[in-house]
Amino acid sequence: MAKPTKMGKGLGRGLESLFAVNTAEVEVSKEDSILNISVDVLRPNPYQPRKTFSPEALEELKNSIIENGILQPIIVRKSSIKGYEIVAGERRFRAAKEAGLKEVPAVVRNFNDNQMMELALLENLQRENLSPIEEAEAYYSIMDKLGYTQEAIADKMGKSRSHVANHLRLLTMPEQLKELVAVDKLSYGHAKVLLGIKDRSDMVRVAKLVVDQGLSVRQLEQLLKKEKAKKTTNIEKTLTNEHLDYFVQEETERLREVFGTKVSINLNKEKGKIEIDFMSLEDLERIVGLLKK
C-alpha cells in the first residue's frame, strides 16, 4: 500500500477540507487493479498548475526507475477525448518516458473535471515547491474555477490573507517579469518590492538592473529609496524654479508700472540685479525721485 501523502510543512490546518477530494482518494490499495498502460496514450492533467519540472530531480528519478522500476503506480482517469489523463504522478510519467519505458503501471479512477483540478492543486500545494508564479496561478484557478474567495483560501490553508493577495498580485506583473520569477532569476521578495513601482516601464527597467547586477532584496529597496529621493528633489526644484519665475515676472511688471520705463530683474544663483532704463537726465531725476519716496 502506498504511503499517504504528507502535508507540506507550514501549510496549516485542514488544507484537504478545502477540496471535495483528499489524498486518500489517490492512494493505491491492495484491492486496486493495476494496469500497464502505454505512455503514448497518457497525457498530463490539463489542470496541472506546475509548469516547470526540475531537470535534476527528473534525472534522479529516471535513474531510480531504470534501476528499480516504478515503485508506485500513477493515478489516471479515462479521457473524454482519447486515452487517459494523469491525475497524480506526472513526474513519474515524465521520468519513465525519459528512461525509455513504453508502459507504466497505473490505476484508473473516476474523477470529474473539478476533482481533477482539486487533486492537481492539492498535490502540488502540499509539496510547497511550486514557484511563486505557479502558486499564484493555483490560487487564481481555485478562485476562478471553484468560486473560492481569497479569505476562504487563506483560512483553509492557515495562511494570511496578505500572503494569498500578494501572490495573486504577481499575476499583474509584465509577462517578462513573471517569467523571471518563474525561473527564479527574481525572488518572491524582489517581486513584492518591484510591485510597488507604479510605472510598468520603470518596473521592467529596475528588474533588469536587479538581474544584471545580482542585487539582493535589501539592495533593491535601497536603490528605490534613492531614486524616490532623487525624483522628489527634482520635483521640488522644478516647483521652486517655477514659483521663482512667476515671482520675478510679476515684480518686473509692477516695477515697470511704478517707474514708467523698462525694468529688468536678472538672477544668478544666489544673487541678482535690477536694471532700470532711463532716456535722459530728466528721466533719471524722475526715477531717483520715485526711489526716494
Which residues have C-beta within 8 Å of that of residue 109, sequence separation ≥ 6? 25, 26, 75, 76, 77, 87
Neighbours of 88 (CB within 10 A): 26
Q: What is the mean pLDDT of residues 95-120?
A: 85
Domain with 30 in it: what CATH number?
Answer: 3.90.1530.30
Range(s) of the domain holding residue 82: 16-127
Rounded to whole angstroms, how far apart are CA atoms 97 and 246? 76
- Nearest Cα to 167, choosing from 130, 221, 204, 202? 130
Q: How many domains does the chain have?
A: 2
Q: What is the mean pLDDT of residues 241-261?
A: 74
Is residue 78 within 8 Å of 109, Cβ to Cβ? no
Q: Give domain status of residue 159, yes or no.
A: no
pLDDT for residue 31: 63
- Verify whether residue 221 is a known catalytic residue: no
Quote the distance between the C-alpha of residue 292 and its chain's center.
71
Q: How much is the mean pLDDT over the chain? A: 79
Q: Give domain status of residue 36, yes or no.
A: yes
| Percent of the chain scoring above 90 in pLDDT | 22
Is residue 171 within 8 Å of 136, Cβ to Cβ? yes
- Nearest Cα to 196, choosing from 164, 220, 232, 160? 220
Q: Give domain status of residue 231, yes or no.
A: yes
Q: Give domain status of residue 105, yes or no.
A: yes
Q: Give domain status of residue 142, yes or no.
A: no
State yes or no: pLDDT of 22 exceeds 60. no
Rounded to whole angstroms, how far apart are CA atoms 84 and 89? 13
pLDDT in tens, 64-105: 999 888 888 888 888 878 889 988 888 899 999 999 999 999
Rounded to whole angstroms, how far apart are CA atoms 113 and 79? 11
Three-state DSSP class for residue 63: helix
| 21 and 123 both lie in a single domain | yes
pLDDT for residue 6: 31
pLDDT in tens, 168-185: 999 999 999 999 998 889
Q: What is the mean pLDDT of residues 7-31?
A: 48
pLDDT for residue 8: 34
User: Last residue of some domain: 107, 127, 147?
Assistant: 127
> Where is pLDDT greater, at 88 or 194?
194
- 1 pLDDT tier (thresholds 50, 70, 90): very low
User: Last residue of some domain: 127, 143, 171?
Assistant: 127
pLDDT for residue 244: 62
pLDDT in tens, 43-62: 887 777 676 777 888 889 89
Q: In sequence order, which ranges of 73-149 are alpha helices (DSSP H)?
A: 90-98, 113-127, 132-146
What is the DSSP code string of 64-88?
A: HHHHH--SS-EEEEE-SSSSEEEEE
User: Last residue of some domain: 97, 127, 157?
Assistant: 127
Q: Give domain status of residue 204, yes or no.
A: no
Q: Give domain status of residue 211, yes or no.
A: no
Rounded to whole angstroms, how far apart are CA atoms 88 and 192? 32
> Quick one: cell of 160?
494570511
Q: Give domain status of residue 78, yes or no.
A: yes
Helix-then-strand count for the chain, H and E: 11, 7
Three-state DSSP class for residue 105: strand
> Quick one: cell of 243?
514659483
Annotated catalytic residue: which of 16, 25, 85, 90? 90
Three-state DSSP class for residue 234: helix
Residue whose cell numbers read 511550486? 130
Q: What is the mean pLDDT of residues 222-231?
A: 79
Is residue 40 within 8 Å of 46, Cβ to Cβ? no
State yes or no: pLDDT of 140 exceeds 80. yes
